[in-house]
Amino acid sequence: MDAEVYPLDLVLAPLLFVLGGLFALRPYIPTTGTAMRCCVAALVGLFLIRYLDWRLFQTVLPAEGSLLELGWIWLCFTVEAVALFDAVLLYVTFLRRADRRAEADRLEAGLRALPPERLPAVDVLIPSYNEPLEVLEKTIVGALSIDYPNFRVWVLDDGRRPWLRDFCREKGAGYITRPDNSHAKAGNINHALPLTDGEFIAIFDADFVPQRNFLMRTLGFFEDPRIGIVQVPHAFYNHDPMQTNLAVRKVLPDDQRFFFDAIMPSRDGWDAAFCCGSNSLTRRSALAEIGGKLPTDSITEDMLLTLVLLRRGYITRYLAEPLAFGLAPESIQAFFVQRQRWARGATQIMLLRNGPLGPGLKFVHRLLFLPTHWLTQSLISIFSLIVPLVFLWTGLAPLANVTREAILFYQIPAVLAVFGGLRVFAPTQYFPLAAAALGTFQSFKILPSVLGTLVSPRGHLFRVTPKGRDAAGAGYETGIFWICLALLAATALGLVVNARVDIRIVEQTALIPLVAFWSVVNILILLLVCMLCLQTRVRRGEERFEISEPVWLLCGDGTRLPARLSNLSLSGAAVRLPDGAPRLALGAELQLVLPAVGPLRASVARRFADHLGLRFELPPSPERDLLIRKIFTSGINTPEADVSGLAVTLGLLGRIFSLQDSTRSDMSPSAAETMDARPPAPRLPAETTLLPPGPPGPKLAEPAGSRAATGE
């Protein structure tokens, strides 16, 4: 029976069935169980098989026409097929899920019950290249605050900066440098490995601050001799470019939550989690079996290390618990430096003997380590924009023998099944509109990077993601902006042209309403991408954290005022005064007494309602270190976003149709008025000759013990 003669209730039956099925199954998806997960995957798979059968045997193989028409139909089908292949791999991943938090509780209790002398030694490595002091200071001080009795912190300086050597000596951290920068980050770590001797090696990028309980929460997993690496999520204390440029900080989580909170726990269920570079703990004896160093054949040495160890029988375990907080890309430029490096490195790995296609891996690991999503996601994003444009301006259809009823009967239920299933598996991490906008945004640079790497896999340099002051003021992404604006205009004009009978290009008029809907969705996505290209000015130099706790204000005249902290940063704070408190003048000097820190010199910089905005006068000192420890090593993160699907969609649509200032739209008065001005950069010596370091300096006032040393 041809779909075009189906009655309306029959045409809509598959659509209603998939929506009803996913809605009914969603509440029953357990955290770790597989039975209901298999039901969701089976439902989605049923609609995909049904769709592909129709797509191939009714819209592709029977197609007739010119070589151009047939070529276009087959090209569209091929792109769609490889994208669906990646979707199937993702659904296979979601069939399992591991939650290791209860296991970590048990293992931590066992570690804390041991006498300190029985705990293994750990070397904490912080590879660095060109990060400024404002970034490194937090990481080094935070690492020295780890709650563990037997560890050493080593800063691996590929920038050969004397000021950093002196800073490490003052704080009590070890300092290692080398004469060249061969193999970038991997080479830096490999140079340090024979100079250290801890049984385990923790690695943190220069912008990631470990929480005090990092080692106690991760080290216990190594009681299983199969575990070679323990990885924890990358969590962030700032907002990424999408959250910032679209002013959706309060409604949209950062874009890496889908991977770290949904995909990685599922990969762990298959023993297919992988090292992500930073925030990892590695068994040194496992490295010894592969030559005592990290592989250097790819610029993403972390994933390649996982594959090399996997062939030796070692598993990477994943603990879905934020135990280190770092900097998300602070600008569009930093975002693309990071993502292009990931895409190139993953593509390189696919072509290596130690990659997923090489010998010695289980079939499921080959599938789950295929990095094809970097190519397919970019292709499908670009084709989703181009296909309706080609149809509107040339009448060239991407599929043959199609009717409006067939689209409703086969294609739309399959699309909703795929997206709806992802929403079931990741209800607080996956949002289709946001994912489409970000995927389109990055596809313009990721696709050329992947294709270039496929053609020439070697010779790509490791580019460090700019951080701190180096990432500020990177400007607009004008190339992508004008491309998207042109695509938007062409789509809108194509709709106008085909709306008029006298100049209409498309002959299949029954399909125009569906193509029009597709085009409107594309216009919304393109508007979001255009807005993403416009870099929002960052007003604060230090990230602000919402903390509510009682504090004291010690005024210059000896008055002692109780107050409540509202937010806190390394350069200032906002406090709420009680009713009847005296009004303090702007510029008034006082001391803010913070729990676990002590008195901090401050001055009144803002007054608003019952709040004061304070600016700290905080040079390098034990108090500054204690403040870093309080803010960055105690699990304090930026406020949780309201991550309901409706809130995200309305937030994005509202951003399109509003003209509000994106730098202030989601900031509370206290946030907007807290004056976190970025201090001037210190003038540092330019010498690269390494001088012998001095003895380790004093540590924090209340630190856990460590074996910090200074050496080369």
Q: Which residues are catalytic?
A: 158, 302
d(CA 299, CA 676): 36
d(CA 221, CA 103): 8
Give all strands of the β-sheet with 235-236 in edge-to-edge order: 209-210, 324-326, 235-236
Q: Name residue 35's amino acid.
A: A
Give the pairing type, strands 227-231 and 315-318: parallel
d(CA 572, CA 227): 43
591 in Cβ contact with 581 (< 8 Å): no
Q: CA dist 311 to 341, 369, 710, Å?
A: 25, 13, 36
The encoded tokens of residue 477 equal 């992404």
Which class for 381: exposed (0-12), middle (13-18), buried (19 or more C-beta within 10 A)?
buried
For 484-490, the CB contacts below 8 A with 24+ separation are 484/440, 484/526, 484/529, 484/530, 484/533, 485/526, 485/530, 487/385, 487/389, 487/522, 487/526, 488/523, 488/526, 488/527, 488/530, 490/389, 490/393
259 in Cβ contact with 245 (< 8 Å): no
d(CA 334, CA 470): 9
Task: Please give the helix or strand (H or E) that residue 593 lies within, else none.
Answer: strand 589-594
First to last CA, the chain: 78
Estimate the crossing angle of helix 412-425 against helix 432-455, to 10 degrees.
100
Say whether 287 sits in a helix, a strand or coil.
Answer: helix
The encoded tokens of residue 390 equal 């080609």
The encoded tokens of residue 54 equal 């129709």
Estimate the crossing angle of helix 412-425 against helix 35-59, to 10 degrees.
160
249 in Cβ contact with 666 (< 8 Å): yes
Q: CA dist 584 to 258, 561, 612, 669, Å?
A: 46, 11, 9, 18
The encoded tokens of residue 32 equal 């770790």
d(CA 297, CA 393): 46
C-alpha dihedral (649, 654, 655, 660), degrees to nearest 10: -150
Residue 318: how many CB atoms within 10 A of its CB? 27
The encoded tokens of residue 446 equal 């990721």
CA count, 13 A, side-chain hemisphere, 176: 24
The encoded tokens of residue 491 equal 């789509």
Q: CA dist 224 to 103, 158, 227, 491, Å?
A: 12, 34, 6, 57
Say whether 296 sits in a helix, a strand or coil.
Answer: coil
Radius of gyration of the chain (CA): 28
Give the pairing type, strands 200-203 and 280-283: antiparallel
Beta-strand runs (E) in 52-131: 122-128
Phi, psi (deg, nearest 5) at residue 430: -115, 125
Q: Name residue 40's amino acid.
A: V
- The residue among 464, 462, 446, 443 whose CA lies nearest residue 454 is 446
